[in-house]
Amino acid sequence: MEQRHLGRTGLRVSRIGLGTLTWGRDTDEHDAAEQLKVFWEAGGTLVDTADVYGDGKAEHVLGRLLDRVVPRRDLVVSTKAGSVPDPDRRFDGSRGHLLAALDSSLARLGTDYVDLWHLHAFDPHTPLEETLQALDLAVASGRARYAGVSNFCGWQFAKAATWQLAAPGIRTRIASTQMEYSLLQRGVEREVLPAALDLGVGLLPSSPLGRGVLTGKYRRSTPADSRGGSDHMALFVAPYLDDTANGIVDAVQTAADGLATTPLQVALAWVRDRPGVVAPIVGARTVQQLTAALSVEALSLPDEICRALDDVSAPVHRYPDHDWSTL
């Protein structure tokens, strides 16, 4: 698998990442081991998790597989901190919480360091400089090699990145931003992606298959064994089961038919090769689903297919993104 630099850093990662959202819940340790081995054998290196996935079970499962299934040194392990199970405060970006969460992640993962540590979301109740100082402390102590942010909107991301550049004594720079990005969700193109390109920060798209909808499995009904058919994931999939999404999925299916490939491969290749994208994070419940996603390595979409998909999925971005005098 092709390797790409993460933004303007020396860190190289596989251009497809392996997500672990379902590990320890819908994906047991045996199936997770199969996924990790198949991913590694295909040349994959970037494995993404978070301290809240499966209430910590995903990190625990991954930790049990490191070295036993795949050498730790061959992987780029990424995790996140900041989300908390508190309905009154969903995110905690305080220095105390973040550093304690990182220590807990390292214990579950059974490793002395993570290669990439993300803030899971922006915390409006904590001064941003305190949050970013936690990133600097984590990197300075060797517990994290690189740091990034996740689910930061444009102004939050730009403020964080520029504060790090300007603040005296701060050495850690944001290397990556993890955001949802697919043919069904192109909101990052409004501000986050231009900022990332300007600042040299790598984009790691989550849900690159539109939460599974772009595979075409929901075109006629909701399969009982799918995320959309499960009690705990149905609300996650539901926003992409409307008429607008159906039109985009139909276009992806048409492109796949014309290329003699699958909708999954078309949708994944489209986002993988967008400007600024380093590695889409693919979450699979089974090794068969993962194998299907990894097969995209050999596919590059023709320019005319890309333009057609761009047109059919184009978000409405007007003022102030375009010259106001022409509106």
DSSP 90: S
User: Which residue type is seen at 325?
Assistant: S
| pLDDT recorded at residue 325 | 53
Percent pLDDT > 70 in the chain is 94
* 17 found inside a domain: yes
Specify whether the CB–CB gap between 21 and 284 falls below 8 A. no
Which position has the higher pLDDT, 242 or 2? 2
What gap in Å lies between CA 45 and CA 65, rounded to an integer?
A: 14
Question: Does residue 240 lie within any of the structural domains?
Answer: no
Q: Can you tell me the distance from the alpha carbon of 211 to that of 253, in angstroms, rounded to the nearest whole number? A: 16
Please, what is the angle between helix 154-166 and helix 192-199, to 10°?
20
- Clarify whether 53 is annotated catalytic: yes
pLDDT at site 94:
97
The CATH number of the domain holding residue 191 is: 3.20.20.100
- Residue 281 domain-assigned (yes or no): yes
State yes or no: pLDDT of 106 exceeds 80.
yes
Is 322 contained in some domain? no
- Predicted local confidence at residue 317, as pLDDT: 74
Residue 195 forms part of a structural domain = yes
Q: What is the dihedral of CA 263, 267, 272, 276, to 10 degrees?
A: 170
Active-site residue identified among 53, 181, 218, 240? 53
Number of domains in the chain: 1
* pLDDT classification of 73: cutoffs 50, 70, 90: very high
Cis bond upstream, residue 223 (ω within 30): no
The chain-wide mean pLDDT, for the chain, equals 93
In a domain, 95, yes or no: yes
pTM score of the predicted model: 0.93
3-class DSSP state of 249: helix
pLDDT, one tens digit per residue, over 1-60 is 999 999 999 999 999 999 999 999 989 999 999 999 999 999 999 999 999 999 999 999
Domain that holds residue 121: 3-210+267-300
Q: What is the DSSP string of 250-312?
A: HHHHHHHHHHTS-HHHHHHHHHHTSTTB---EEE-SSHHHHHHHHGGGG----HHHHHHHHHH
Residue 229 counted as domain residue: no
Pseudo-torsion of CA 19, 21, 24, 25, nearest 10°? Answer: -140
- pLDDT, one tens digit per residue, over 119-148 is 999 999 999 999 999 999 999 999 999 999
How do beta strands 76-81 and 46-48 pair?
parallel
The structure tokens listed for 273 are: 């090769």
Rounded to 5°, the CA angle 163-12-134 comes to: 30
- Residue at 243 is within a domain: no
- Residue 268 pLDDT more than 70? yes
